[in-house]
Amino acid sequence: MRHLKAHRKLGRTTEHRISMLRNMATSLINAENEYIITTVTKAKELRPFIEKAITLARKAQNLSGDQAKVQEVHLRRQAAGFFHAGNHNFKTEQSRFRGKKGEPKDKIERTAGVKAVQRLFGELGVRYKDRNGGYTRIMRLGRRSGDNAEMAVIELVDNARELSAEVKHKEQT
């Protein structure tokens, strides 16, 4: 029986499943159009995963008082657990060892996980400051031709594409 079993296993081990959700969350946050295409079951599992991270960013926007900075750092560190960690790329790591003695090391580039946390707290937390949940939308696309899996788009609501479409619609009417 599946009593009190909240999430789908998706045919993967726990580590693989969590890693996959982290990758998908990072891709969704860093995507220019703020959407990704995946299967319906993966999208349904990703939704609560990403919404918890966005809620942490939203909480950081509503902080006040003398402990606000400390609380924001705490919330950022909690949110970093929803994305893959790391703060340098393999290429810059290799080039660091190629330099001659005394030469400055290359500037370390931020990875997608670090960029996702920065974007989450810098842009998305402000956007959803007054919204009480429901930051994502799942739209079904149909079935994939190769294996007949049902596909879906998971996207962030109130994105730039959606807002520009609303403005055009208002201008036409």
Residue 2 has pLDDT above 60, yes or no: yes
Rg (CA), the chain: 19
Q: What is the DSSP letter of 41?
A: H
Written as one string, the DSSP assignment of 63-100 is: --STTHHHHHHHHHHHHHTTS---SS-HHHHHHHHHSP
Q: Are 116 and 29 in contact (CB under 8 A)?
A: yes
Pick the residue with more confidence: 30 or 97? 30
Average pLDDT in the 16-42 region?
Answer: 93
pLDDT the model gives residue 104: 54
The answer to which of 6-10, 27-31, 102-106 has the lowest mean pLDDT is 102-106
3-state secondary structure of 131: coil
pLDDT the model gives residue 96: 52
pLDDT the model gives residue 110: 65
The answer to which of 21-35, 60-74, 80-94, 158-172 has the lowest mean pLDDT is 80-94
Average pLDDT in the 159-167 region?
Answer: 84
pLDDT the model gives residue 98: 53
Return all residues near 43 (Cβ < 8 A) that are at least 6 apart: 138, 152, 153, 154
Q: Are 147 and 62 in contact (CB under 8 A)?
A: no
Residue 10's alpha-carbon distances to 56, 66, 98, 154, 161, in angstroms, are: 26, 44, 43, 17, 31
Q: Rounded distance, CA 106 to CA 85, Å?
A: 20
The domain ranges of the chain are 14-172
Q: Using one digit for the tens of pLDDT, what is the confidence trace for 65-102?
A: 888 999 999 999 999 999 986 555 555 455 555 555 55
The CATH classification number of 14-172 equals 3.90.1030.10
pLDDT the model gives residue 103: 56
pLDDT the model gives residue 77: 93
